[in-house]
Amino acid sequence: MAGPRTLLEKIWDDHLILEEDGQCLLLVGRHLAHDGSYHAFAALEERGLALRRPEQTFATPDHGVPTISRRVEDIADPAQRRVVEALPRNAAKHGFTLFGLDDPRQGIVHVVGPEQGVTQPGLILVCGDSHTSTHGALGALAFGIGASEVAHVLATQTLWRRRPKTMRVTVEGERPAGVAAKDVILAVIARIGANGGAGHVIEYAGSTIRAMSVEERMTVCNMSIEAGARAGMVAPDEKTYEYLKGRPFAPAGADWDAALAYWRTLPSDPGARFDAEVALDAARLEPMVTWGNSPEDALPVTGRVPDPADAPSAAQRAAWRETLEYMGLRPGQRLTDIAVDQVFIGSCTNGRIEDLRAAAAIARRGRAVVPAIVSPGSTLVKRQAEAEGLDRIFREAGFEWRESGCSMCIGMNGDLVAPGRRCASTSNRNFRGRQGRGSRTHLMSPAMAAAAALTGRITDVRELAGG
């Protein structure tokens, strides 16, 4: 392809094996697996196939693992327990790398990949999980695939895909105090809608994104899928290289130099064309919180619950009404008047060390008045937090300090929000029943979630911070 190219187009072209009837056969660089990848291994087995490239698959159990201990016996649901137990069996049988339940490198697969240096710029990285988009923060093309596609990758290390469209989301300017990466992505989704990125891969660009740490970029890319996009990515830069250097599975020595030379060629060329462009002004952003059952239902914390009477269409009016009913909210109610029953800090969106530091900085200002749990995104994050004394801050403020896993983001391990209960959560999905049947979820940043724990209601963190 001649002319200036985008980051996505460069990675695509470099991994294209052949193109037929609009379908591209791509060479996959890394495949990540978790306990839920169980079905794909079963499908492989059924056909008597071996792993084509076991050294390019890395796995860790996350969805079903207990957070009260590291014992599989503590997984209440026997089916879930069998799924978690199958992963080490499959690793032994097929010879891929496993960060098992008792391994300090265990964690949520999207936290572990970057942490171990498995995720690298310029790679195609796939996993049977929608939030694989997280890894795009390092300049990889990373996306979730279905179980039959996982089996295809296991057997061939390749994947069929149509060329996606490209969208650039440019965020410029300095973020005001109290505005986290989570607020930036919630604002993006509120702007373009939960379907706004459909068919596109989003590249996040602009001075606000460049100023973000690699971990903050992960929070942004993580939720690309909640904007309907196929993937999200950020061009690699010096921060990316500094983040990766010396990580266990990152290239070293001469390989590092060669990799670095290649990575530097990846950022979108000046003049590269995107199919869609969106621009946001960071200086105008506020801490965000969701009120409904779609991540697009996000508003500045200073706002009020929308009135269905103001909905743009009759269909939307009916939908908002049902949402308010489910969420137990009144039109026009101040968001900061909404009482919460509990708080969850963790997940692949906001379970990294910087997230825990931000939450702890608020937690140390008071005491939780509602149950609050903190589940670090990986066991290494947990250890790091403990080395920094964050666990003590949380415990002294009455927060529960748990083991690492998906936990209350989805509740597959039994960490559930009870029917009708309201949870302030740092996770990425507020769908009906997401945290348990009848559960009500409000998405927000780690500092905002910690603030909600201290007051028992949705709280503007800017009122607690400072001082």
Ligand X SMILES: CC(C)[C@H](C(=O)O)[C@@H](O)C(=O)O
Question: Which listed option, ligand SF4, ligand X, none, makes contact with residue 36 (CB within 5 to 8 Å by class)?
Answer: ligand X
Q: Does the annotation list 406 as a binding residue?
A: yes
List the helix and strand counts (H, then E) for the chain. 17, 19
Torsion angle defined by CA atoms of residues 443, 449, 453 and 459, in that order, rounded to the nearest 10 degrees: -80
Residue 298 found at the interface with ligand SF4 (CB under 6 A): no
Residue 441 found at the interface with ligand SF4 (CB under 6 A): no
Q: What residues pair up with 425 in beta bridges, in sequence order?
A: 344, 443
Residue 347 found at the interface with ligand SF4 (CB under 6 A): yes
Q: Which is nearer to ligand SF4, 145 or 348 (CB)?
A: 348
Is 65 buried (19+), middle (13-18) or exposed (0-12) by CB count in 10 A?
A: buried
* Binders of ligand X in range 49-108 (CB under 6 A): 63
* Binders of ligand SF4 in range 38-67 (CB under 6 A): 62-63
Q: Which is nearer to ligand SF4, 110 or 457 (CB)?
A: 110
Residues 220 and 285: beta-carbon distance below 8 Å: no
Instruction: Please give the DSSP secondary-structure letter assigned to residue 163.
Output: P
* Binders of ligand X in range 19-58 (CB under 6 A): 36
Residue 428 found at the interface with ligand SF4 (CB under 6 A): yes
Q: What residues pair up with 300 in beta bridges, in sequence order?
A: 288
Q: Which is nearer to ligand SF4, 266 or 443 (CB)?
A: 443
* Binders of ligand SF4 in range 108-127 (CB under 6 A): 108, 110
Residue 406 found at the interface with ligand SF4 (CB under 6 A): yes
Question: Which listed option, ligand SF4, ligand X, none, makes contact with residue 240 (CB within 5 to 8 Å by class)?
Answer: none
Which tokens sit at 193?
A: 């809608």
Q: Within 95-237, where are the H helices?
A: 109-115, 147-156, 181-192, 207-211, 214-222
Total binding residues for ligand X by CB under 6 A?
A: 7
The DSSP string of 364-415 is TTS--SS-EEE--SBHHHHHHHHHTTHHHHHHHTT-EE--SSSGGGT-TTS-
Q: Minimum distance between the CB of residue 158 and ligand X, rounded to whole angstroms?
A: 21
Q: Which is nearer to ligand SF4, 60 or 157 (CB)?
A: 60
User: Reduced to 3 states, what is the DSSP secondary structure of residue 268?
Assistant: coil
Stretch binding ligand SF4 (CB under 6 A), from 140-148, 176-184, 301-309, 406-414: 406-414
Q: Does the annotation list 221 as a binding residue?
A: no
Residue identified by tokens 């795009």 is 136
Residues that bind ligand SF4 (CB under 6 A): 62-63, 108, 110, 129, 131, 347-348, 406, 409-410, 427-428
Residues that bind ligand X (CB under 6 A): 36, 63, 129-131, 144, 410
